A and B are shown apart, each in its own frame.
Chain A
Amino acid sequence: MTATLAQTPLHEWHTAHGGRMVDFAGWSMPVQYSSIVAEHQATRTAATLFDVSHMGRLRFDGPDAAKFLDGLLTRRIDNSKPGQIRYSLITNDAGGILDDVLVYHMQDAGRESYYWMVVNASNREKIVRWLTPRLADGGDVEFADLTEITAMIALQGPKAMAMAGAVLDWDPTGLKYYTGRESEVALHEGLVSRTGYTGEDGLELILPGAAAADVWGRLHESGATAAGLGCRDTLRLEAAMPLYGHELSEEINPIQAGLKFAVNTNDRDFIGRDAIKRLSADASLPVRIGLELDSKRAPREGYPILAGDRPTGKITSGTHSPTLGRPIAMGYVASEHATVGTELNVDIRGRCEAARVVKMPFYRRP
C-alpha cells in the first residue's frame, strides 16, 4: 500500500475474521468477510453488524449550536426536539450538494441540547473546512471533530432489535424511527439511534473508540454476522438511498436528486437557499430515477442512458440486486424521460439493454 490508511478501533477484529480490507476514503475498511450476497441476505433476513466508524462524527455544543447549524443545513433543525434525528443536506451558494448528513439533536444529563452531525467519510475534511471559518460569526458554539476517538457500529436487519438485548438493558423497539438517545451500551457510555443505511430496521451506536471491540464482540456472539461495505452498497441501492460521489455531488441540487423532503426554504435562510428556490423551477435539469432491467448484465456508474437511441443521461450506481435477482440502477435523465413506466435503454459496454423507469425504492421491507 502506498499511503497509510486510517484504521478504525475494529480493524484488528476485521483482519482476524477474514475481512477483505480495501481503501475507502482513506480508511482501511472491510468490503466483505464471506460474500457480498451472503452478507446482503443475512441483513435482509436476520441481522448484521457494520463497522461505520469511518463516517465523520462532528459534535456541536453551546446555546447557539442549533442556530449555527440551521444556517448550514437545507432542513430546519432549530425546531427539532431532543431525540430527533434529521436527514439533511449541506449545500454551497449555488445550491450544489456538499454532503448529505444526519443531524442528531441530543440532550445531556443537565438537559442541555447538543448536536451530532454524521457526515460521509469522503467529505469529512471538506465539511470541517466549510464550517470552521463560519464558527467565528456563529455565536456561542463549540465544535469538535470526534471521529478519531469514537466508533460507530450499525446493527441492521429484522432481528437487530432482538439482538440488541446483548448490549442494552432497555427495549429499543420503544425508540421511534429516526430518533436516538444517550444510553449505556454494555456498560460503556454511548448513543443509540434507530437509523441505518440498509432499508432494514436497526440501530446505530456511537461509542468511545475503546468500547467498540467489546460491544461488537457481544453482538457478534449473540448471532449478528459481520457485514462489509460491499453489501452496504447493494443494500442501500435496493433501498434507493443516494450515495455521495455517485447520486450526489456539488453539480447536483437537492431537488433534482429527489430530496425535496430534506429542504425547507420557507421563513428561514441557509447557504444555498436562494439558488435552490430558483433551480427548483428549472425543468431543464436532469432528475434522479430508478431503473430496472431484464438483462443479466448490470448497468454500472457512467454508462449512458438512452431514450430510443438518443442519450438522455447517465447511470450513477448500478448492480445486480441480490433480493430482486435482476439488475437495478439509479441515474439522472432529462425530466421528460423520468416518469415511472418510461422505457429507456442503457448502453452496457457497447450493447443496448432495455430498461424501465420504476418507482423507488426498489425494495421495501415487509
Chain B
Amino acid sequence: MMLGIPDAVIQELGSELSFSQSELDELSTSVIEGCTNALEHGNHMKSEKPVRLSIDFERTRIEVTIFDNGPGFDFETIDFSKEPADLMQERGRGIYIMFTYCDELSFFRSDGSFAVKMVKKAKETSVENGN
C-alpha cells in the first residue's frame, strides 16, 4: 500500500498554505485512514481497481475526496462520533479518527464510485503565525 504518497502530498501542500504542523498531521492521518478503507473495504486490495484522490485547497482550507470502486456502506445509520466500545479492539477506529480530526466529514456515491470527503480548516492562530 503506497499510503506514504498521499501523506507526502498533504504535508508538502499544507506547508505552502496556512496550516500548523499538527493540523497537517491530523489531515494526513485522516487521508491515510480514508485511503486504507478505500483499498481494503472498497477495492478489496485488488490492484487493478484504482483509488482516486481529489484535492481542492485555498489558503486556510483543504478538501480531500477519496473515491473507490466498492458499494460503500450504510453511512446514514452510523454515528461517526462513537468511539469503539472496547478500548482493546484491534480494528474499527478509522472513521472515528477521521471524524475527530476533520472539520467536515461526509460520504456519498457518484458514478459507480463510493467516496469520502473530508475538510480541514486552518485555525486562526495558524493563520496569524503564518505557520
Partners in one complex: no
Chain B contact residues, CB within 8 Å of chain A: none
| A interface residues with partner B (beta carbon < 8 Å) | none
